[in-house]
Amino acid sequence: MVFFCRFWELPKKALFLPLDWHPLNTKRNSANGRAWVTRESIAEHFGISMRTVANWKRRRILPFVKVGGLVRFNVAKCERALMKFESKSIFDE
């Protein structure tokens, strides 16, 4: 059975998403506001150029999420992904 109703017949407490809702909206997705960041923010965080971020994204070194036209990076996941490339010093035991 399919239920149809006109919008004015919906209950007063019907669940509607706020106008600023988006799955990658940083204000809603993290307590500290650092969960999902832009390419510029991730470049600043790691101290690299935006071109390097684009290259690492293309080579799938940095994990990212793309929803519609928005590309966002999770800072914690990017840090974990880059840990694979960390080399030990010969002086470390």
Q: What is the CATH number of the domain that holds 39?
A: 1.10.10.10
Task: Find all residues with CB under 8 Å of 82, minimum gap 6, and list them.
Answer: 46, 61, 62
Q: Is residue 53 part of a domain?
A: yes
Instruction: Name the most confidently modeled range: 15-19, 35-39, 49-53.
Output: 49-53
Q: Can you say whether residue 47 is alpha, beta or left, with left for phi > 0 and alpha for psi between -120 and 50 degrees? A: left
Q: In the prediction, which pLDDT does 91 show?
A: 77
The reported pTM is 0.59
Q: Beta partners for 65?
A: 72
Q: Is residue 22 part of a domain?
A: no
pLDDT in tens, 49-81: 999 999 999 999 999 999 888 999 999 999 999
Q: Is residue 62 part of a domain?
A: yes
Please give the mean pLDDT across all residues of the chain.
75
Hey, what are 52's tokens?
A: 């390097």
